[in-house]
Every structure is written in structure tokens, then in C-alpha cells.
Chain A
């Protein structure tokens, strides 16, 4: 029965599209009406990766804000349907199909996770469903030939690793580098980018690589091994809990290398404070968003607006959590893309608009960083700003690095 309804409504769509052929004003893809646009997203709300679930919830809260304060985008309210996949790829496939085939969303937005998106990327591209601004730092989303319907959002892990590699080659040519990384796709992506960035020098400069599993209680043993390797540069590729442990442990055992910290864990509230600000002094990292817990942004209007937004539209969320400002920022990009579509809300046009963003500035991005995409550029953000922790706050230094 459902199947017949599906066909039936498809026929109506075609008929509607044909009859409205001359009046290009209302050209709608699935999930769009005069008053509503449906977007879908798969996220972990249950299971061990639940910490990431808040990104989509913050984005959803931003859409609520736009719906409430501006009556939606071009008069259409955004209906953002989130579904729980528990970070399990088979469940992601099931939920993504539900969103596309049953809920009939216009597009996917901010699906979270590398393995989970890998499980659905082929399906969505075969169905020609826009798969926009995925919440993962893997570099594979920027492959216009292979995945024409997929776009990334954050600067890729590899891009970031190369920034540090370049810095090391220029400033610490005789470094002895020790690396701690999480043994999964995210950790390995950093490792690969870092090796590429160092080029031929990699095998001379890197003296130790040790991994940990997310189930490990601590990384103490790994830090001891790294110290023992004689490394004087420490590349810390860890998620917040382990980053804080590693920074603290290194300091406590009297190991004081030059530290590079991946931007997954730059949060002052969630990493630096728990580790201890004095222990984190001198750490180099890079970022693209304003950290709402960093005192330097206390009076920044964008961060203040963010705090007000959190208090009003997402009171359950923790404003100190960087994931929330991340969701808040990417939702603004999505709204911009929909706005640019006007009344031509087909999947094709949505994709076209998503791939023609030109220097779009989001107030919570660091100064000088903006979003640019193109038909051959499916990566939204590719710029980073180096920063060093001075014992109190992150001090930005150097030029913006990366391509646009």
C-alpha cells in the first residue's frame, strides 16, 4: 500500500512540476511545500559516541530560531528530522533510507561520523540526494568525480596535520617527533596527512608512534613510552578526554616537548581546564571557530549571541561544549544555501547553490575565515588559524593557512 502511495505521489509531483513548468517560481523537489522544507540527519544519540549527538541538536535549535524569529527561510519553515544510528553503520543505512524513502527529505545535512557516512555515501549519490556538510573531518568527502552529491564541512584532518607538519619543517627542522593517535579512521587520517606533510623527512623525524583504543581507561602507558623514545615534539591526536589525560601525564612525568594538539580537542573548558592550564602552557594548535570558553571572546558579539541562543533555544545543551558552537555555525551555512535557492527547491538546485558559496562569513568563525565552495571544491572550510596557549587563553598567530 505504501509503495502505491509512493508512486502515486511521485506521479503528482511530476504532474505538478510539468504544469508549473512556465511558472519557475515554485519548482519543488521531495520534501518541499510552500510552507516547509524537510532535511534529514543521522546522528548518535545512544551508545558510546553519544557525545557527538549534540551537534545536530544545536543545529536543530538554530533552525527553530530561524523558524520562530524569521518565519523560516523564504517563508518556508525548516523541518529538520534527526534519527539515531548509535554510530553503527548498518543502522545508519536503515535510518538514512527511512529519511530518504519514507520521510521524503529534500537533502541530508550534517550526518555524523566517518564509518557511518561511508556506509551511505554510495546510496545517497546513486539516489542523487544532496549529502551536505557532513560532520566528519575525513578528506574523502571532497571527491567531486566520485561523490558529486556529497560535501564536507570542517577542515579535513589531513589538511590540519599538514599545517603542523609544515610548521615543524620550518621551525623545528631537527625535531624528534612522537605521536599518540586514536586507533580508528580519525587517528589514521591525521597520521597519513602528517606523514604526507613531512614528505621524505617523515622517517627521519618521527621517532615513535603509539596508539590507544577508545576503551582504554588511560593513556599513561603510552605517554611513558613516548617520553622514553626521546621525542622532543609531541603530536597529540586524541579526543578530549584522552587529550587532557595526555597533557597532564606528560607534564607530571617531567616530559616537556613542544606539543601540537589536534583541533578536535582545543576546547578550553573540556580539555585545557581539566588538564590544568599551567600544564597546557605552550601547546600549539589550530582552529576555525571561536571557543566560547576562551576568555578572549568574552565580549565578542558573535559569542554573546551564541550564548543567548543556547539559553533560549537549547537550554539542555552545554554552551561550553564546542560541538554546540560547531552545530550553530554549520546550521547558518545551511540556512544561507537554502536562502540562495529562492523558490527553486529541487535537489539539483540545492546542490548547485551549496557548491557556489562565495566567501560566506559566519560570525562565530575566527576572523578572516570564510566558506567558499565550487563545482570542483566540495570542502566548505579549508582554512585554519594557528594558535598557542599562553597559560590563560589561545593566542592566534601567523597568517590564515590553507586554501579557500
Chain B
């Protein structure tokens, strides 16, 4: 009995990143909601796992999985960042599919370090799949300088609307703003919108819009976040 416990705690020792998730579907759904570009930056932070997708340096989608959602989560550095093919990651996470009423697919994520592949181990009813996803050097992502003190307008909307309540939970706008955003970029966030219960729309003084989706993880009765940032179109005059 003791040996297995020791073995378990040692298991992650040789990895820079080691995480266990009892239900791979959680990560699958979150990764899918930001899959508007083939490649994404996969970042393991102290607080959790961040998958960021960027398009044309003007829009960003970020899926955040808090460490709470993992059964085990170990990182050796403050920030482990790699670029991976997100579509491949999604196919790998979905390799067993979802058969209703079955035990969820268990997932183990391992990453040894620079130059090594990102290894996913999935287990479903005794069937094991090992996926080695090639890793690339992470691109630097645009910092939208989305600081709280710069936010002027903030609206929180309930997506899941009970009959008696209002659509808008909070409305806190300091001044009238008119910005143009590419509808194609906003469309990227629709997948996240479908599975969310609450949406916060915030706009800074420079016009950068951040939409935050609160996504319930019903299996664990916890929450995950997906964020999208959009730069406004420059007025050509």
C-alpha cells in the first residue's frame, strides 16, 4: 500500500509539468471553445492551465483551467509555456469519444521540458492511449494591457435566464463609447457562449474589449473561465 503511495508522489518528479484530470472532457470542451486557430500557446501557471489562441495580433481567446479542477497538478517552474497544435490536442482528448453513462476518460498530462513532446495519457475502461504531441517554442502573445483601473464600461449578462430575473446582472458604465470590432473575431467566441452561464463584457479606455465567459463544470460543481480580447478597428479618417 505504501509503495503505491510513494510511487504516485514520485511519478511527477521527472516532469516539468505533471497533471491529472479525472475527466478529460472538461479540458476537451474548454480547448474546443478557443479553437479558432490551429496553433495555440499552452501555458502551465501556478494558478492553473491556460490555453491561448491569437489571431492577427488583434484578438485573443484564452481558456483557463484552474488547478482546483485537477486531481494532481505539479509544475517545477513558475510558468511552463509551449506552442502546440490545438486541433491535434482536441482530437487526442476525444479519442475515446463520449459514450453516455460510462466512466469518464481519465487524463494524465506530462511534459519533460524543452524539446520534449507533450504527452497525454488517456484511460477509458482499461484501454490506454498515449499521445505525444510535438511542441514548439511559444510565441509571445500580445499584452492588451487589460488592467482593472482602465476599465470604463462593464456589463454582466446572464446567459442562462430564469423566467423571473433580468437579463443583465450588473451594468456599470462610466461613459459612452463607440468602437468598431470585427464581427468575424467576435464570432470566434460563440462556442464559449453556448456553454456559459454568465458573460462579463468590459471595455477599457483604449477601446479593447474583453469578454469573459463563466463556464460551469457540472461534474465537479466548479467553474472555469474562457476569455476573449478584441482590439477595436482604427477609425480611418
Partners in one complex: no
Taking beta carbons and an 8 Å cutoff, which residues of A are in contact with B? none
